[in-house]
Amino acid sequence: MRFLLGYSRAVDRMNHAIGLVVMYGVFVLMAILLWSSISKTFFVPSLWTLEMAQFAMVAYYMLGGPYSILVGSNVRMDLFYGAWSLRRKSAIDVITVLFLIFYIGVLLYGALGSTAYSLGYWGTAPVEYFLGLMTGTEDIGRMERSSTAWRPYIWPIKAIMIAGLFLMLLQAVSELIKDLARALGHDLPEPKI
């Protein structure tokens, strides 16, 4: 259990640090939208602002998701949960976080497939494709671009989506470990709810 709690502390520290940096991404989004307003009012409208604002928002919530799980700012249905003891809450959370881990795993697999497609892979084995890219046995094909006038490549935001989902998966496993430890009677600090 000591090793698992060490893993949990390391993941918590990493996602806390990333979350503190990413939360300032809202200012990046505001700057993009401000420039969009200024350029539309006084200059020739910029082609890139709307799509870049969408990309910034995706990065903001995908990379901020693990921090949200860490600090417990996710929405809970609190009919009975609030009156339960910490140990009982943790026992129920062990079960529910398993559903979360499964869901994030499915999303991550889909994100891998979508990113592989954006890199020009047309097959049905995205994990093997990425392993092949790392070993040099696969090549990048014709890369997907947006259909807008700006036409940026799509793979960078999809890579950020993979990173965010992977960090969320790590954080969900961390929460599982902490809930399991609390349910078994280990003394851990109360979660931030």
Could you read off the pLDDT of 97-109 as tens digits, one per residue?
A: 999 999 999 999 9
Nearest of 30, 47, 54, 46 to residue 154 by alpha carbon: 54
Mean pLDDT, rounded, of the chain: 92
Q: How many other CB atoms sit within 10 Å of the CB of residue 80?
A: 10
d(CA 120, CA 129): 10
**CA–CA dist 77, 99 (Å, integer):** 16
| pLDDT per residue as tens digits for the range 8-17 | 999 999 999 9
Rounded to whole angstroms, how far apart are CA atoms 155 and 150? 15
Its pTM stands at 0.90
In the block, which residue shows the tokens 């881990």? 101
Question: Helix 86-118 and helix 126-135: axis angle, to 10°?
Answer: 70
Half-sphere exposure of 113 (CA within 13 A, CB side): 9
Name the pLDDT band for 77 (thresholds 50, 70, 90).
confident
| DSSP H helical ranges for 23-154 | 25-42, 49-71, 86-118, 126-135
Q: Which residues contact 41 (CB under 8 A, 6 or more apart)?
A: none
Q: What is the pLDDT of residue 191?
A: 60
The mean pLDDT value for 6-31 works out to 96
